Amino acid sequence: MGEGEAKDVAARLHSSAVRLLRTLRREDDGSGLSAPRLSALSVIVFAGPMSLAELAAAEQVKPPTMSRIVDALVERGLVTRVAKPGDRRSVEIAATSEGAGLLDAGRERRVHALVKRLGSLADSERRALARGVEILERVTR
């Protein structure tokens, strides 16, 4: 594959990824959280407890913005502030079981939406897509 073809494939993949994310984001409406709050919760659930500064850096926002997001998540009982081991002056943000459960339910909604869409494909197309996903997983690691 030449450079021009590779660029075309990359552009098509980018467009498809954007459309896929938009489609799946509609499923997130069921969480009752705004996109920034849901994103921050996801980082905490999957990366584990972290400081406010680390979370702000991961989400590419300023600490005061992240502080407001975390306050809202604490109020909903989705995260807690816990003393950092070995440094009582520092706190880490950690997900609660309710927060992790909310994310699991959202993932299930998104997966279900994808399963419905995949149902319209022929078996050969689903197998081809499965091979493509394996390649995407390698490329994105």
Q: What is the pLDDT of residues 118-137, one digit of tens each?
A: 999 999 999 999 999 999 99
Residue tagged 């994808």 (tokens): 114
Model confidence at 17, pLDDT cuts 50, 70, 90, reads very high
**How much of the chain, in percent, has pLDDT values that exceed 70?**
100
49 token code pair: 């407890």
Query: Would you tell me how many other CB atoms lie within 10 Å of the CB of residue 92?
Result: 20
Model confidence at 16, pLDDT cuts 50, 70, 90, reads very high
- DSSP designation for 34: -
Asked whether 78 and 95 are in contact (CB, 8 A), the reply is: yes
Query: Would you tell me how many other CB atoms lie within 10 Å of the CB of residue 57?
Result: 14
**In the prediction, which pLDDT does 23 show?**
87
pTM of the model: 0.76
C-alpha to C-alpha distance for 33 and 12, rounded to whole angstroms: 31
**In the prediction, which pLDDT does 86 show?**
77
Q: Give all domains of the chain, ordered by start, each with its CATH number.
A: 3-139 (1.10.10.10)
Q: Among 4-8, 85-89, 119-123, which stretch is predicted with the lowest mean pLDDT?
A: 85-89
Asked whether 84 and 50 are in contact (CB, 8 A), the reply is: no
Backbone φ, ψ for residue 133 (5° rounding): -65, -40
